[in-house]
Amino acid sequence: LMAQLTVASPTNIAVIKYWGKRDTALNLPINSSVSLTINQADLRTVTTVTVSKDFEKDRLWLNGEEEDVSASKRVQKVFAMVRGRSRQWEGMKVHVVSVNNFPTAAGLASSAAGYAALAFALGKLYAVEESYPGELSTIARVGSGSACRSLAGGFVAWDMGSREDGADSCARQVAPAEHWPELQVLILVVSDKKKAVSSTAGMQTAVETSPLLAHRAAHVVPARMLAMEAAYLKKDFAAFAQLAMQDSNQFHATCLDTFPPIFYLNDVSRAVIQFVHAFNSACGETRMGYTFDAGPNAVLLVQQQHAVQALAAVLTHFPAEPGSEASYVNRPAMQQE
């Protein structure tokens, strides 16, 4: 007896950032967050999950290399949550083969795509019925917080919730990508090196040492979440881009406020920030926004009608290295292959 499923899972880029946990075992955040789902052929994770009674043990291969599943608490927790919700396939073992074709741990949210794919595929194979909308996203969340936002397409909020067991800390689609198809992103890969401080470690040190982070979670993000969702629903680009830029900047300010400080942005990242502000002021309106995750790579936000102008300006200021490709990204949703 055997069953197999392959899913292509998108990554996501937060425009209101998740940074800080109130529960590190369950990945329960200190604030809500919201992201754009990015599903571009060369920016997703393809994961094949096979369930069989002939397998001796659970095994996992990431980009061709076998990982020690028994040593990964996150993967163990995801398996346990799925198995705890289904009697189907009882006693069977799982083999997972996951490949992503974008820089792992370079701040392009690759763990998000991976755990979303794992939760989605296992949920399907084990025939897990959601007992409330978003339950499957709580399984992805236990793998990696940001992963819960990759199960839906478009604009997806992760509501922080208040329960201790995390059942209400789940994802909710604000609107599908078709609501605002003109909104696109341009990704500038400044470095594909693995980041020096992982998100998991960085945000924990921040929770312990940064008073700015505590202030942000309690007094800044709640109003920003409401304003951000409203801007997306109204397709108000200027408001959307401005909130995204401010939130990215505040997140990186909390990194500087962490002790010892953490630096994810580099000189090129800061030059990109200055370039976007100069571009907008030359245009006399906000035509470009930016956001940076836990790494130096820039995600630029543009609308289709200004994309060519924006790309031309970017390439003039930051000539692409020979052989590199500027990736210009559209945003549909998760696909089952």
Could you list the residues that contact ligand DP6 (CB under 6 A)?
Answer: 14, 17-19, 27, 33, 109, 111, 144-146, 199-200, 293-294
**Residue 200 Cβ vs ligand DP6, minimum distance, rounded to whole Å:** 3
3-state secondary structure the chain: CEEEEEEEEEEEEEEECCCCEEECCCCEECCCEEEEEECCHHHEEEEEEEEECCCCCCEEEECCEEECHHHCHHHHHHHHHHHCCCCCCCCCEEEEEEEECCCCCCCCCHHHHHHHHHHHHHHHHCCCCCCCCCHHHHHHHHHCHHHHHHCCCCEEEECCCCCCCCCCCCEEEEECHHHCCCEEEEEECCCCCCCCCCHHHHHHHHHHHCHHHHHHHHHHHHHHHHHHHHHHHHCCHHHHHHHHHHHHHHHHHHHHHCCCCCCCCCHHHHHHHHHHHHHHHHHCCCCEEEECCCCCCEEEEEEHHHHHHHHHHHHHHCCCCCCCCCEEECCCCCEEC
Q: Which is nearer to ligand DP6, 52 or 67 (CB)?
A: 67
Query: d(Cα 19, Cα 33) in Å, to the nearest integer?
Result: 9
Q: Which is nearer to ligand DP6, 10 or 279 (CB)?
A: 10
Q: Which is nearer to ligand DP6, 105 or 214 (CB)?
A: 105
**Residue 59 Cβ vs ligand DP6, minimum distance, rounded to whole Å:** 22
Q: Which is nearer to ligand DP6, 221 or 310 (CB)?
A: 221
Q: Which is nearer to ligand DP6, 248 or 286 (CB)?
A: 248
**Residue 52 Cβ vs ligand DP6, minimum distance, rounded to whole Å:** 29
**Residue 205 Cβ vs ligand DP6, minimum distance, rounded to whole Å:** 12
**Residue 322 Cβ vs ligand DP6, minimum distance, rounded to whole Å:** 30
Q: Which is nearer to ligand DP6, 109 or 314 (CB)?
A: 109
**Residue 53 Cβ vs ligand DP6, minimum distance, rounded to whole Å:** 32
**Residue 296 Cβ vs ligand DP6, minimum distance, rounded to whole Å:** 12
- Nearest residue to ligand DP6, scored by beta-carbon proximity: 145
**Would you say 329 and 185 are in contact if contact means Cβ atoms under 8 Å apart?**
yes
**Would you say 182 and 168 are in contact if contact means Cβ atoms under 8 Å apart?**
no
Largest separation between any pair of C-alpha atoms in the chain: 65
Q: Which is nearer to ligand DP6, 123 or 145 (CB)?
A: 145
CA 123 to chain centre: 20
**Residue 240 Cβ vs ligand DP6, minimum distance, rounded to whole Å:** 16
Q: Which is nearer to ligand DP6, 128 or 140 (CB)?
A: 140
Q: Which is nearer to ligand DP6, 110 or 184 (CB)?
A: 110
**Residue 27 Cβ vs ligand DP6, minimum distance, rounded to whole Å:** 4
